[in-house]
């Protein structure tokens, strides 16, 4: 048996592959649920009810999905150009730190600017911080051939240590009773809530708009065409006259900025300040979401909602039937593996070798 590259992937197969991966995942994880002694149907029903069964559950799912959409987009756009950004977690934290630095009340005071100017400046600072962080890794790859997987992964730890130092030092909130927590941003800079008595904020709208904009750019824009060409074959793209270096750096800037915006959203939309446990791994989850979506920006929205629903719903499921919440991590991991296998068979077919 051997794998043979298909001349063209079927559009129907591309649509059905993620659905088949999800169905297989639910079936495979049902075995684990049954092994744990819980009723399979009721367990999955509780996950769905915990994620969508009430106004509060839905709002929590949307709140959790907001940073996941942005980190998923960050990974998707980078992977499209074969720039493997594993550092979205660090870019998220650096974006959040920059947002607090610009919008925070340092010793009771901060930048004295009108809100109409201060809010865009805070958002820009967060996006710029994430972009600069990834541009460094992209430059090392282009100039010296340094593997960006290594540099972006290591930068996560460096950024977390830097943020920890800042939260215990210059940016520590003196009113936090010794807790490593940054100063709060000005109340007028917080993102407005989309639903009353919920945590769903305007960052969700920003994430959806950016997903649509990226899809349009990739589908119809010249930069999107160059991005796909570089990702398909950088040497051929350079031979055809495309500015591969400029495209890769532009892709890095967009990807890092998106991850930085996820950090801005968590500070300005949800918490109001920065802590070291602000993200439960949104940057790493973005890799899974991007792969589940097949690097499609609109698919990232659906994938992020799926992952957010599993994570939120697992909490109520665990309380009701006693299955550990780690089941959510298993479901997400199995979904990623299933999607990779499904994606493989949309591009290749199995051929039997002649005896």
For residue 5, what is the enclosing H or E element?
strand 2-5
CB atoms within 10 A of CB 165: 12
Compute the distance between CA of residue 339 and CA of residue 337 in angstroms, rounded to an integer. 5
pLDDT beneath 70, residues of the chain: 8-9, 353-355
CB atoms within 10 A of CB 183: 25
CB atoms within 10 A of CB 124: 17
263-282 residue pLDDT tens:
999 999 888 889 988 888 89
pLDDT at 122: 94
199-211 residue pLDDT tens:
899 999 999 999 9
Q: Where are the alpha helices (DSSP H) in 84-192?
A: 88-103, 115-144, 148-167
CB atoms within 10 A of CB 205: 14
Cβ–Cβ < 8 Å for 89, 156: yes
pLDDT at 344: 79
DSSP state string for 89-108: HHHHHHHHHHHHHHHB-BTT
| Global pTM value | 0.90
pLDDT at 351: 74
pLDDT at 355: 59
Q: Own/partner pairs for 189-192, CB < 8 Å, 24+ apart?
A: 189/103, 189/115, 189/118, 189/119, 189/122, 189/268, 190/268, 190/269, 190/272, 191/265, 191/268, 191/269
pLDDT at 354: 64
In sequence order, what are the beta bridge partners of 349? 4
pLDDT at 43: 84
Compute the distance between CA of residue 299 and CA of residue 302 in angstroms, rounded to an integer. 5
Dihedral of CA atoms 324, 307, 261, 130 in degrees, nearest 10, equals 80
Question: Hey, is 354 helix, strand or coil?
Answer: coil
């Amino acid at each position: 048996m051997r794998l043979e590259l298909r001349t063209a992937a079927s559009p129907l197969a591309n649509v059905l592959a993620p659905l088949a991966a999800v169905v297989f995942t639910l079936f495979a994880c049902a075995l684990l649920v049954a092994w744990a002694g819980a009723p399979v149907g009721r367990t999955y029903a509780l996950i769905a009810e915990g994620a969508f069964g009430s106004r509060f559950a839905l709002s929590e799912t949307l709140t959790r999905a907001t940073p996941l959409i942005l980190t998923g987009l960050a990974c998707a756009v980078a992977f499209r150009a074969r720039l493997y950004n594993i550092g979205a977690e660090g870019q998220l934290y650096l974006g959040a730190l920059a947002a607090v630095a610009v919008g925070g009340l340092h010793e009771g005071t901060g930048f004295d600017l009108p809100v109409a100017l201060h809010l865009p400046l805070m958002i820009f600072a967060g996006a710029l911080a994430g972009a600069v962080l990834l541009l460094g890794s992209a430059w090392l790859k282009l100039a010296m051939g340094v593997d960006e997987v290594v540099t972006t992964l290591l930068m996560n730890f460096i950024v977390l240590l830097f943020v920890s130092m800042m939260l215990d030092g210059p940016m520590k909130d003196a009113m936090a009773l010794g807790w490593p927590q940054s100063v709060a941003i000005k109340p007028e800079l917080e993102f407005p809530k989309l639903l009353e008595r919920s945590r769903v904020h305007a960052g969700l709208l920003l994430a959806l708009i950016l997903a649509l904009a990226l899809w349009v750019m990739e589908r119809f824009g010249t930069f999107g065409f160059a991005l796909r060409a570089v990702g398909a074959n950088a040497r051929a793209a350079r031979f055809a006259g495309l500015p591969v270096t400029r495209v890769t750096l532009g892709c890095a800037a967009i990807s890092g900025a998106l991850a930085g915006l996820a950090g801005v959203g968590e500070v300005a939309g949800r918490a109001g300040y920065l802590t070291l446990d602000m993200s439960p791994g949104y940057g790493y989850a973005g890799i899974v979401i991007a792969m589940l979506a097949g690097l499609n920006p609109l698919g990232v929205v659906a994938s992020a909602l799926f992952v957010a629903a599993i994570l939120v719903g697992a909490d109520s499921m665990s309380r009701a039937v006693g299955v550990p919440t780690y089941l959510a991590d298993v479901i997400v991991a199995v979904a990623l593996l299933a999607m990779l296998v499904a994606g493989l068979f949309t591009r290749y077919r199995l051929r039997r070798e002649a005896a």
